[in-house]
Amino acid sequence: MQRAGMKRQLIGSSFYRVLENLINVATALLLTPILLAALGTSQYGLWLLLLSVIFIFPVFDFGFATAIQRAMAQAIERQDACSIQRLFSTGMLLFAGLAVPALLCTFLLATNPAWLGVEPDFRALATFALLILLIKVVTDMIANAMHGIYSGHLRFDLDAKISIVQTILRSVLMVVFVTEFGLMALVFATLGTDLLAHLARFVLGYRLQPDLRCSWQLVSWRAIKELYVFGRHVFLLDASRIIRTNSEPLLISHLLNLSAVSFYAVADRLVRQAEMLTRSVLGSLQPFLIRKQHSGMLTEQIAAHSIQLSLFFHGVLLLSGLVCGPIFIELWLGQGFGQSQQLLPVLFLAVLFKAYTIPLSQLFIAHACHHKLVPLHLIGAVLQVGFMLLLGSLFGLMGIAWAAVVINALVFTAGLCVQANRILQLPWTAMLPGLLSLSVLFTLAFLLSMHLPLWRPEASWLEFLVKAPVIVITAALVCYYSLIRAPLRGRLQASLQELISKQR
């Protein structure tokens, strides 16, 4: 692919992934008060608990999903049609087989909801919902075979368009039917729109790669072994990530109750939805970095630029969230979610100490050195669960939030930077100054939000809609000149001018 074409596709993919996540954020914000009013905090907490369980089962792809995406990107770059068909056929058989243990585990949990900490009054409902969601677990697993086509062609935009339609349709169905059918309306809306989205991805995938075909004769055991060598380490990384990101509802339901799951999730999901906007942009860089490394052109400067971009987007998220987050929750859900407001600064601090996770992990994957991060991530996952149990039993929801801060600082900032310096030979000057600058900006924004009366006591949505864009733009300008160095600023400005001139 020509450089100009690759740049256009990366920009287009980034745009649609940002748009996809903006719509996800918007629908989540619109749905949450509606679902809370219709279900109550306990049933809404049960729904979030069930989602956390379902999102654990992608770990059963054992890293093969990422491995196939990487191999498919390389095969498409070489224009090797035989390898593409062999990988796709192998992937279909492989993921169909891997769906079996995921299905069995889901069935086991569905028939034993007490293992999830579900209160007795809601156990029958939890069982019925999980039995229906078995279908989602299986189809999600099999759909992994097609994702490599989209990533290999850098067509994240097509995948994002499907997700946008899926999100809107699912949200409409939930709003229409939740009052009459309660939690089961959410279950069937989620399952139905997922099935339609998977069908659309397969149809468009075949159009994107017209010679694509699936045949058992093309299945290659040698390819499975090669994918396993790469994927086994990704599996351990994914397992540790899934444990860290989906363990909170399970622990809270055991330590406290389903209502506490709702209060924690309001703050946590608000932070994560905002963080997804950052990941949607930076995630498009992964195939680009893989291709650069494959062609021997992944330089130290490109690595430093990817780090600076991550710091910039995280900085805008953190500064804006600290100032606007608490008042937003009050306007959004009312006075009854003070616990969620108090959790926000701590959860944003935890995000600060994850600012390097995306770019450094991408660099390790591009260099095929991701397996060297496995011990670090496993240690982090185990320690985080332990700290959550300890601090959660002592301090409740606030203790669980602080556990994430401690682990992110020790493992996913300090530990990850040490590994990047030692293994990738990435200089400390490419990492430490930016982190220190971001920490200073975070501290200043926190003090500003605490001591300056930025919002009136009786703030309204009109005031928020007027002030919030100004705060975001100010945060973006501050981060642009504080976290992005002059050489990258020059390249970004040149690319923007080139894009504007072409549009004319």
Do 208 and 315 reside in the same domain of the chain? no
Three-state DSSP state, 41: helix
Indicate whether 286 belongs to any domain.
no
pLDDT band at residue 2 using 50, 70 and 90 as cut-offs = very low
Same domain, 63 and 194: yes
Shared domain check, 165 and 83: yes
Please name the amino acid found at residue 334: G
Q: Which of 73, 61, 99, 244 is nearest to 153 (CA)?
A: 73
Tell me: do 16 and 150 sit in the same domain.
yes
Burial-class residue 6 by CB neighbours within 10 Å (0-12, 13-18, 19+). Answer: middle
Residue-wise pLDDT for 57-74, tens only, equals 777 777 788 788 777 777
Mean pLDDT, range 321-345, rounded to an integer: 89
Q: Is 244 domain-assigned?
A: no
369 pLDDT higher than 60: yes
Residue 251 lies in a domain: no
Of the pLDDT bands very low, low, confident and very high (cuts 50, 70, 90), residue 8 is low
pLDDT value of position 47: 93
> How large is the average pLDDT for residues 335-351?
90
Chain centroid, CA 399 distance in Å: 23
**Boundary (domain end) residue, out of 204, 232, 260:** 232
Q: Supply the angle between the helices 81-110 and 123-142 in degrees, to the nearest 10.
A: 170
Q: Do 228 and 303 lie in a common domain?
A: no
Is 282 contained in some domain? no
Q: Kindly state the tokens that stand for 488.
A: 């990258």
Same domain, 227 and 322: no
pLDDT recorded at residue 7: 56
Does residue 247 lie in a domain region? Answer: no
State mean pLDDT over 24-28.
Answer: 85
Q: Which of 321, 334, 336 has the alpha carbon at shortest distance from 441?
A: 321
Residues 188, 308: one domain? no
The total number of structural domains in the chain stands at: 2
For the cut 70, the answer to whether the pLDDT of residue 173 exceeds it is: yes
CA geometry: angle 377, 378, 383, nearest 5 deg? 100
If one compares 212 and 350, the residue with the highest pLDDT of the two is 350
Of 202, 232, 262, the position where a domain reaches its end is: 232
Residues 227 and 315 in one domain: no
Residue 458 and residue 321 share a domain: yes
388, part of any domain: yes
pLDDT, position 9: 61
> Shortest CA distance to 362 belongs to which of 465, 273, 464, 289?
289
Q: What band does 299 get if pLDDT is binned at 50, 70 and 90? A: low
Same domain, 315 and 389: yes
Coil/strand/helix, residue 212: coil
Mean pLDDT within 416-422 = 87
- Could you tell me the pLDDT band of residue 348, with boundaries at 50, 70 and 90? very high
Average pLDDT, the chain: 84
Please report whether residue 312 resides in a domain: yes
**Residue, of 473 and 429, whose pLDDT is higher:** 473
List pLDDT tens digits, range 104-148: 988 999 999 888 888 888 999 999 999 999 999 889 888 887 777
Tell which wins on pLDDT, 393 or 370: 393
Task: Decide if 438 is inside a domain.
Answer: yes
Instruction: Assign 93 a pLDDT band (cuts: 50, 70, 90).
Output: confident
Alpha carbons within 13 A on the beta-carbon side of 390: 10
Q: Each residue of 184-221: pLDDT tens digit?
A: 999 999 999 999 998 988 888 777 777 777 777 777 77
Q: Stretch 253-264: mean pLDDT, rounded?
A: 90
Same domain, 332 and 412: yes
- The boundaries of the domain holding residue 452 are 298-504
Last residue of a domain, one of 232, 260, 278: 232
